[in-house]
Structure 1
Amino acid sequence: MDVKAIRKQFPILQQEVNGHPLVYLDSSATSQKPLQVIEAVDAYYREDNSNVHRGVHTLGSRATEKYEGAREKTRRFINANSSAEIIFTRGTTTAINLVATSYARMNLGPGDEIVINEMEHHSNLIPWQQAAMATGATLKYIPLQEDGTLAMEDVRNTITSNTKIVAVTHVSNVLGTINPVKEIAKAAHDQGAVILVDGAQGAPHMKVDVQELDVDFYAFSGHKMCAPTGIGVLYGKRSLLENMEPIEFGGEMIDFVNLYDSTWKELPWKFEGGTPIIAGAIGLGAAIDFLEDVGLDHILEHEKKLADYAMKQMNTVEGMEIYGPRERAALVTFNLKDVHPHDLATVLDAEGIAVRAGHHCAQPLMKWLDTVATARASFYLYNTEEDVDRLIEGLSKTKEYFGDVF
């Protein structure tokens, strides 16, 4: 894996910020886009711009071919059984809300349980709060281990015969915890429940095989995996999707419309009302091509080495507190003693280093960590050990700036 060659494919990384070469360490929030993706979106607007499915003219046919081609690429990317199981959405949040609104509200009632845990992103927590309030179901939490992992014994003890839905992140966007999704899915199925996995931090970084994992729903976003913003995916087992009702109604998703009732198209289009996210889907297809050309196994290996190097270097910084398990995905969430993470991020930005600071859309987890906010450095295929070294230098300058607290 030639990281220097990969970096050349990302125009945004070639710039200076505040007089310094940009070090982008915020890929967990959104990844940067390679030329291959930028050019694919540009070519659609320059050459093929048209609505899909509806027209018989040449532009419409070309746009439809690219749009549905992206769906097939996505199917292969996660090894879904059928392209009918791939629903294009605005992102992970929309995908989870679709399940929480359609499937959950049709299948839950008083006495039923929804099982989640405290490491979840708000997008995989609030929809289940709302589903519980709407149906009378109970929300239950799997307890976290001291290092921010889930123990399978706790998973099995929390899921009961009353559990109807288990929702879990594949990878924590704060702790870097990689959850044992396959084992959790089995525990859910053993009790007759279905499982939804928030794959926003999983799909961009590792091979995902939804059939091997045996998950019922898997949601992820394009913008975290080199694709444009505004495009995401909901995978669902066909048997479940066929029995779910759409939650958006209008053009594109209908079969026949009468004055007083209507019928819906078959999968996947019944869940894609209105003009779809055509350019975004085409960009997602180009991003999948790019990531597969590099190789997901190579990306995961590179990120693991980078995370190990970052942990080793950051542990040498006096006053550093790092959150999460030793074995983790390619991100490090931390605080520097007595320096607010927003102040820390501001000083790093002055050095051209972009990190995230705040609660990371995980306020219950911040409470569990006994802090109001943290800083986070997250890595991707275009990052290097030199980027980590620049971060360490930036942390040293932060300590110099706030010298009176050390």
Structure 2
Amino acid sequence: MFFLGYIILFSIELLLSINKFHKIINIVSIFTGIWCVFGAVSSLGLYDLRIPNGIVHVYAWLFVFIVDSIILTFMTNKKMDIERNTNLALSNNHRAFKIQLFSLILIVPMVLKVVSILLSSGSLSTIRQMYFSGNNFSSMYLDMLFRIIPMSLLNALIIYFVYFSFETKKRKYLYYSLFNTILVTIINGGRYAIILLLYSIIIMWITGNVDVSKTFIDTRYKKKIKKITMILVAIMILVTIRRGQELLKNIVIYFSGSLSYLDYILENAPQFALNQRLHGYLTFAAFIEPVVLLLKFCGLTTAKVPSYEFNMYCQGFHDIGNGNITVLFNANTSIIYYFLRDFGWIGIIIGAIFISLIIVKAYNKWQSGNRFYGMVFIYLVNILFNSLMTYQLVGVGPFFAILALYFITQRKFVFGKSLKKVGDQYE
């Protein structure tokens, strides 16, 4: 029954999205496909995963339906040729390299720790445990300075160089993005950076309105993108193997397991503090956490940051197996847990409206010619595509990533000199 429900939902949203975007592969079809494919798989109980209760599927359908409805209704059909911003992009490109240098300097202490682990064990799993241990530095502020900030900047640069490469059709910038992806992957032992790069390329390809097929140069660029994509897939497979995991089994558990974990959480609601409402503390954490940290630094509050509220209850490992075998799982609760923790089931409606409206806002501003919002759109859609597993608008990482993209794309402030306006920007 639930398997059929996902098929029906996906079919309806696919037809509506084709009518809206005039192409089969679009952000709605990809987002809906991710949720519906793995939602349907979760109902089969493959690899001895617990089968989610019906309420989990209803929550999933509600979230997907609201997000799709808002995007399809309010996202503009107006298209712009992003190549018209090429000269402006080139004039601001040096800022990205300043951020690149700054992030590489800050990340040195983490690199030294990773090198030590690689030399002693060569295990990405050990690196990942070290990265998220919370014991890398003597204070949370040092951890922010030498881990969170540089990693956030590197993630922003992955998006920037993909965007810039599509603008200019210069293939070398895809390699810059790939370099940052490999660096982040080695440092944290995870796959999110690989997925970020892969999704960023796909998002630009399907929404950037870039024709890469008219000339010989464009044809070579198209081939280069395909080559980069294959490299990413190969790296992801290698990371999975290096972590001692079976590829197909890991994919099923990685995605469908999030709904099994959510089912476990709902069955043990008090253990995960679902009876303690946070009233938006997690849903709007990207805006709240930087403020709370600043107040804590100034000694004006002792409140726990939003990310602590999540880590406290969901970072521990729990068995999401069906009883035949033990399947340990943590952290990836799906985006739905955050909304439930804040407002109860009504939080799914609030959260879905929030995430979809800011995506629509970013896209519409981008299509009006604003490069900054184009990059923010890519960042937000990545979060949307990963929403089956987690909610990435928590912590200070999003704040620093968006700040980096803003620094790269906005007006220059040159004291004592006049500024020449170029479109909605300055040089």
Q: Shorter chain as normaliser: what TM range?
A: under 0.3
What's the TM-score, normalizing by structure 1?
0.26
Say which structure is richer in strand: 1
